[in-house]
Amino acid sequence: MTSTESTSDQRTLGNGATPVPPPKRRWRRRWLYGIGGLGLAGLIAYAVRPQPIAVDLAPVERGALQVTVGAEGQTRVRDRYVVASPIDGELQRIDLNAGDTVTAGATIARLDPLPLTSQVEATQARRRAVQAQIAGVDTQRPKPEALAQAETRIRAAQAQVTQAQAQVTEAEATLVQAQRDRDRMASLQAQGAVPRQDLETMELAVTQRQQALETARQQVSVAQADVQAAQANLAVLTAEQQDPDYLVDVYQAELAALDAELASLTDDARRTTITAPAAGRVLEVLEPSARFVAAGTPLITLGDPNGLELVIDILSTDAVRVSPGDAVQIDRWGGEKNLQAIVRQVEPSAFTEVSALGVDEQRVNVIADFTDPAVPLGDGFRVDAQIVVWEEENVLTVPISALFRCDTDWCAFVAEDGRAQRREVAIGPRSDFAAVVESGLAEGDQVILYPGDQIEADVRVRGR
């Protein structure tokens, strides 16, 4: 286009202002501005519209699941022997060291029982004193001569009774005869054959015989009283003879106790050599140096390191789910491969232990045996144990991180067509990472992990 043509297409204003484009070009510019505005409005609408929330997704799938109870455990020797001093004495230095092997009956310590010698002598002296007290009891008893004299007095009194009774019999016969003579004299005097004086004489004789009989009877009573007195005296002497018997019983009981004590001390005095109760290895020497020890002082600990067992203390609320025969997996013991064990016993009694937060907890010891006895561990080693209380090979599982509480049920969000949908889920046994799905989810569902407050029903989501 030449300058002349360009000039002819423009319209000039008479006042010399800027030239105005032709109408065709003005419409083209308006279209361009409109398209640009629509594009800008679309960009603004796209920028301000809600964006899908980025979430972590995980599938609901089938697989193996183990439910475990985790806790710290400690190894210990199953058959542990703490050998203590049987007596008071001077302990000689123990030459054994931890790890040394000992055989059953081998000498592991020696004691000098010198203090027992003085105890034996003191007990023997006390025994002699008791024997002297027993002998002194006899001096308190009545002498045999006094008993014999009392018995003689009884016999003499009984003889006097017999003699008095004979005199009574004689007096009775004399009185009967005098009464007969008086009766005959009375009959003769009535006939006038004899004088009255003779009758009176005979009556006097009867009276004298009656008095003699009464005297004889009184002598019998006196003699019987003498017998009773002599018998009473003998009873008193006999009781005095038996009164000190309780003292003899007391002293004899004390003597028996001293004999038992003396036998025990004598036996202890012979136990100067302490031997190993069983074969094994020295786990710890508790008293390595020579010194005086009291009876019952622990000296050395023995055991078989190959006979290890595992002690796991767990909460009592977890202990009710553990049964003998449950598998135990041991990790974090210092090696790469996990060790295996089997629960042998759940102790029936719980104990109180203060947690790291200062809370009193009721805990129970679970005892387990290693499946491989040749474990590379020693006595008192710390391990982390997982007790398998439930296990299945093929179950439908959902990650625990996808579940949350909704009222009294469990719920989860499932990503469907780019949107979150809430599902109520019934779960079964669960571990720390996954739970068994009983209903509410299907295999292959994509569940949202760690759903936050932004995740609601029908909210747009996208996986990261």
According to CATH, what is the number of the domain 82-110+274-302? 2.40.50.100
> Are 130 and 254 spatial neighbours (Cβ–Cβ below 8 Å)?
yes
Residue with tokens 């790291």: 356
pLDDT score, position 128: 79
Q: What's the average model confidence in pLDDT over 52-67?
A: 88
Q: Does domain 54-64+393-463 have CATH number 3.30.565.10?
A: no
Partners of 430 in the β-ladder:
435
Rounded to two decimals, what is the model's pTM?
A: 0.52
Distance CA 82, CA 463 (A): 63
Look at 74-88, 264-278, 305-319 and tell me which has the smallest mean pLDDT. Answer: 264-278
Q: Which fold has domain 67-77+304-392?
A: Elongation Factor Tu (Ef-tu); domain 3 (2.40.30)
Neighbours of 363 (CB within 10 A): 19
Structure tokens given for 122: 């003191």
Res. 137: pLDDT tops 80: no
234-238 long-range contacts, CB within 8 A, separation 24+: 234/147, 234/150, 234/151, 234/154, 237/142, 237/146, 237/147, 237/150, 238/147
- Using pLDDT thresholds of 50, 70 and 90, give the confidence band for residue 241: low
Tens of pLDDT, residue by residue over 140-192, are 555 566 667 777 877 777 788 788 788 878 888 887 887 887 787 777 777 77
